[in-house]
Chain A
Amino acid sequence: MTINLERRSPVKLKGRPVKTGIREGRQIVSGYAGAGKGLHIVDLSHFSRWDIQDKRLSRIQPYGDMIPEKPGQIFMDKHLLMGRLNATQAVAWHFSELKPDMPQTQAFTDITDAAVALALTGPAVYDMAEKVCALDLADPLKTPPFLVQGPFSHVPCHLWVLDRTDSGGCLALTCSRGYAHDMVNSILEAGAEYNVTPEGEDIFRAWLGWGG
């Protein structure tokens, strides 16, 4: 007995997908019809995320050099985000379409399915964030990209402040996967005054200049 073992995202966005594809059993939406010019919410839950923990992170190969030194720092390269969480922990986040193989050393744990991952892009991202989050993500003394660990809509999150402009920017966030439904709802509710609409992953790549 076999059936098609489909993989599912915890996120269900209401919108008409116009560009879709299948990657590793997952249905991926690259673009939605009718996505407005306002704030966009993007599901990033399908991109691989690895937890890296070790007493001495700098010796972790092949990533050692890329792991930033201080908590909150982000290393950003084409299709890779590497965020430092604390003295012994970092997260790697891969955005390439081909999933890289995780090194089989003890330091790594695949945590892709542990979290829901969302991006908010466009104008008023940080105005919207202010409504559900007391953290100062728009602190002018901090230059993006940087990573904040703290509550967003009451749920502990990793907040990746990837880009910030006068009017908006790009904020990615991850939290426990079980919160996906309520987190998306909370963002849609708070973002209503900024015309938040669902978008596909293309807009996120485009924002970071990662092309297709």
Chain B
Amino acid sequence: MKRLNQLPTFRIQYGKELSVNFGQKRCRGLEGDTIASALYANDVRIFGRSLKYHRPRGLYSLDGECSNTMMAVDGIPNVRAENTPAVDGMNIKAQNVFGKTPDFDMMRFMDELSWAMPAGFYYQTLHKPSRIWPLAIKHIRKAAGLGILSPDFHMRGKFDESYISTDVCVIGGGPAGMCAALSAADQGLRVVLLENRPWLGGYFEYRPREYQKGVPLYQRARELAESVGHTPNIRTFKNTAMIGSYHNNLITAFQRGNKSDIFTERYLEIRAGSVVVATGCIERPLLFENNERPGVMQIGCAHRLARNWGLLPGKRAAFSVGHDLGLEAAIDLADLGLDIACVADIRQDSYDSNLAAELEKRNIPFLPGWVAIRAHGSKTVNAVTLSSINATRRRKLSCDTVVASAGMTPVTGPVILPGGKLTYDNHTGFFLPATIPPQMHVAGRLLGLDDPFAIETSGLLAGLKAAADCGKPVENNLKEMAKNQATLPGPTRGTKLVTGPVKGKETFICFDEDCTLKNINQAMHRGFDVPELIKRFTSAGTGPGQGGIPGHNLPMYVAETGESPDRNPKPTTVRPPLVPVYLATYAGSNHDMSKRTPMHDSQVKAGGKMERIGVWNRARRFSSDTSARKEIENVRNNVGLLDGSTLGKFRIFGSDALKALQRVYVSDMSKVAEGKVKYSAMCNEDGCLMDDGIVVKIDENDYYMTASTGRAGQTIEWIRYHTRYDGWNFHMVNLTDAYGVINMAGPNARKVLEKVTDADVSNEAFPFAGYREFLIQNMPVRAMRLGFVGELSYELHVLSSYMQSIWDLLEITGKEFGIQKFGLEAQNILRMEKGHVIIGSESEQRTTIHDLGLGFLWYRNKPEAKTVGAFALKDTEHQKGRLKLVGFKMKESGTRVPKDGSPLVDSRIRGYVCTARYSWALKEPIGMALVDDDLCGEGTTLNIYEDGCKGKLLSAKVVSMPFYDPDGKQMRC
């Protein structure tokens, strides 16, 4: 197809050629083409097949408002061909086509079956008998649906994001939007301007109509765009579709990347002081039979095809329109060489008579009060039947293009989403914002304005109002601008016609969902009378284009056709995302931030199998042996090193520090003695275990405390929360990351420590539960003797920057004593042999310290401290019917280890296995379980039900804990 000669409105560049592959066909295009324009230039008219009926579909709006032109591009389904630039070498496929090209679709017979699929078809049929349902699903899934995504599809590209703070955000880069941006920027404010198309200008951008003497509209658009470009405090985002608008002026948008951009798509989240909505209008689809047959297109589509891309939409076109833009387009297209069969206008009189005269001058038949009622042609249009609106006369004309448009529909999504309300306006025939959210203003064509000066002035006014929101003193400018506005033409009277005299069987109100007027009638016949419910029942407007196509027509049709005419029609709702988006863009770039200990690299190097535990990466074990047997036995026999740096560590000091400790710890914290560690627990109000750790008194009113790894992030928050009414004088410093923690455990631990420090670390000088500070070489170390794994062990807290060096020193020194690293799995089994609990493994939300056998930690005689959980601990101390922690062994030797989390059952569920492992020390499986309190007596049988056990229960019996070294001799020696 030959393109037009160079026009000043072109967006293509002659001489810069490219080609794309459409199925087997190679299509030549030019730099600046969209996929849609490139295919159209190569005579592609059918872009895909529709969802249900497999009807041929083609270009309609050029702004991607429906699924007609959604295509699979380089393996990505549902790419909007009208909004996506053509790139050399692209592979493009039509969707929902059974056959080689969309021109011959083997499923096209579906269209003949439409009688069998009334509205609500799926809800009403195919469920009786239920056995046909799986079969039906299979075939419906195959026949219907847009786009196919292969399960192993990998989305290529870079998906970026940006969080923008600005004073004013203007949505829409047409003349009103540009004027708003310029007037707000003129007040020295930061302005963000969003435009969906690749260029600014809106309805001005392609029209040759005169703006003022000697200046066509397209030139005016370019002048404004240039001013915007030269204003440094305006940031313009083109190719950027607004997808969400929320209260407090939060706007989200997706920016499609250009060749020069580093991103494929970028998610923008804009927080503005004020928002100007200048989104303008889209065209309102005209409803007639076969109104979506390829060849039927809207005014802007036909006009812009020629003006932006040099493509005449066809050879001979019939127009059926309801807006002066249609007359204007017919005149311009006629001048560009299109044969115009006629221009039918819904309006009897309110058209621009100058335009009518221009049509006459060109011998184009002008038919006011006429409307298209049927397009003919099986694949593409070959004729159209027009009718007078009163249905008295008809005329059939042959043509290959029908330019059809009932009028304008304002794009109000950005106003509605954050809570604006629409009401029907009789003058414009628009649903207009009656209430607008605070700090939001509307401008331009969306108000029903047509006059170029009125549009620009409304933009300038909105920009000033936004500036006022941002605290700029613009009262006088506002008054003046409002005065200007008053002298200019107001909103134009709009057309009201929803549908001509048609039956509606093939009149599509929603293209995406293949929903016809007949379907709407069926729904109404069933008693539906609210558009919002009809939308759901018929699925009209629930497709990827959201309400773009049916948004206005559906409620108006319902209002007109209902039992009694509704003079207050209600529009249906819209929701973000307002346009189809990539999920990959939502996912964005790397958000998964995790922490590493100072030992991370060397642990990985040593073969550590790293695992995410909360925010941290930790080594689970250092070999492929999942039982970690060697690590465990080495701790029991020699000495092991564990990286415990993830432990929460805090300093708490100040004159009321002790009061704060008494509030959150269940024990009597006044008993914390210097040189000793105090182990205690924190409970919630219900007495349930939240955290455990040790507290050390460093100085008067100065304490050092630890929290479990999982809780460290909330410790300060917790303590401050529970003291929020008290106004106490205490301070906290989070030292979690300041200190690394080395847990050196095993019978040889002391021998290693003695070699690296001059301090006396004998059992007498540094006994169990002791706290000491000493130097390793010249480095200060905080050391405590604890027994989590049940052996002689030292917990060394060392500054993070020294951690690796000290660890290396211990490893070198300990070589002769068999020192080896151990990981979390080894620690897990070692501590279990001692019956020590891990919060979250052996406890859950409802587990009190009594249930865990830790009731001894609770000091009941400090009511003045208002200890968190104390009241509940008193209340639940002897409460019946609670789950209690018990140890168990398997009844019969040789039974395997049950899985963690398996329920314990008799006639009902009686508890569950917390942790169970094979104990290398005891040479048999051991475990801990939370069980109903009547089952916790020693020797009681526990029946374990495992996932997939098919009724074969494992049998265990309750035993006393600890399993290993019950007297605790090992850790005290």
Contact = CB atoms under 8 A, between A and B. Distances in A.
A182 B804 CA distance: 19
Contacts of A106: 653-654, 699, 701-702
B434 interface: no
Given A1-B812, A2-B777, A178 B165 contact: no
A133 B733 CA distance: 25
Given A5-B777, A134-B163, A140-B190, A53 B806 contact: no
A58 interface: no
Given A106-B702, A131-B163, A134-B271, A176 B809 contact: no
Contacts of B594: 179, 182
Interface string B616-651: 100000000000000000000000000000000001
Q: Which of B162, B616, B756 has the most CB of A within 10 A?
A: B162
Contact of B737 (A53, A110, A177): A177
Contacts of B271: 134, 136
B801 A178 contact: no
A5 B809 contact: yes
A51 interface: yes
A115 B813 CA distance: 30
Contact of A7 (B593, B802, B808): B802
Contacts of B800: 10, 113-114, 177
A192 interface: yes
B737 A114 contact: yes
A159 to B, nearest CB: 14
Consensus secondary structure, chain B interface: mixed
A170 to B, nearest CB: 19
A6 interface: yes
B806 A1 contact: no
A29 to B, nearest CB: 15
A134 B163 CA distance: 5
Nearest to B163: A134
A8 B801 contact: yes
Contacts of B755: 1
Interface stretch (B419-427, B595-603, B851-859): B595-603
Interface string A1-16: 1111111111000000
Contacts of A132: 163
Interface residues of A, number: 53
Nearest to A51: B733
A31 B596 CA distance: 26
Interface string B368-402: 00000000000000000000000000000000000
B184 to A, nearest CB: 14
A33 interface: no
B737 to A, nearest CB: 4
Nearest to A52: B731
Given A106-B702, A176-B736, A130 B162 contact: yes
A2 B598 CA distance: 21
Contacts of A135: 165
Contacts, number: 134
Contacts of A89: 731
A54 B655 CA distance: 10
A100 B676 CA distance: 32
A8 B593 contact: no
A6 B733 CA distance: 26
A130 B192 CA distance: 14
Contacts of B702: 106
A154 B163 CA distance: 12
Contacts of B162: 130-131
Interface string A71-109: 000000000000000001100000000000000001001
B801 A133 contact: no
A131 B161 contact: yes
B74 to A, nearest CB: 23
A189 B159 CA distance: 11
A208 interface: no
A181 B598 CA distance: 11
Contact of A181 (B596, B615, B737): B596
Contacts of B731: 53-54, 88-89
B737 A178 contact: yes
Contacts of B733: 51, 53, 109, 111, 114
Given A130-B163, A186-B593, A8 B756 contact: no
Interface in B345-379: none
Nearest to B799: A113
Contacts of A54: 731
A54 B804 CA distance: 34
A7 B736 contact: no
Nearest to A54: B731
A8 B589 CA distance: 29
Nearest to B164: A130
B779 interface: yes
Contacts of A88: 731
Given A1-B755, A89-B731, A8 B812 contact: no
A7 B600 CA distance: 15
Interface in A116-146: 130-136, 138-140
B777 A176 contact: no
B262 A192 contact: yes
A8 B651 contact: no
Q: Which of A55, A155, A177, A178 has the most CB of B within 10 A?
A: A178
Q: Which of B262, B731, B809 has the most CB of A within 10 A?
A: B731
Contact of B269 (A1, A26, A134, A177): A134
Interface of A: 1-10, 25-26, 51, 53-55, 88-89, 106, 109-115, 130-136, 138-140, 153-155, 176-183, 185-186, 189-190, 192-193
The 4 closest A-B pairs by CB, nearest first: A178-B595, A136-B165, A114-B738, A134-B163
5 contacts: A51-B733, A106-B654, A176-B595, A177-B737, A182-B595
Given A10-B598, A55-B654, A88-B731, 6 more contacts: A112-B801, A130-B162, A134-B271, A178-B597, A178-B736, A192-B262
Interface of B: 160-165, 190, 262, 269, 271, 589-598, 600, 615-616, 651, 653-654, 699, 701-702, 729, 731, 733-739, 755-756, 777-779, 799-806, 808-809, 812-813
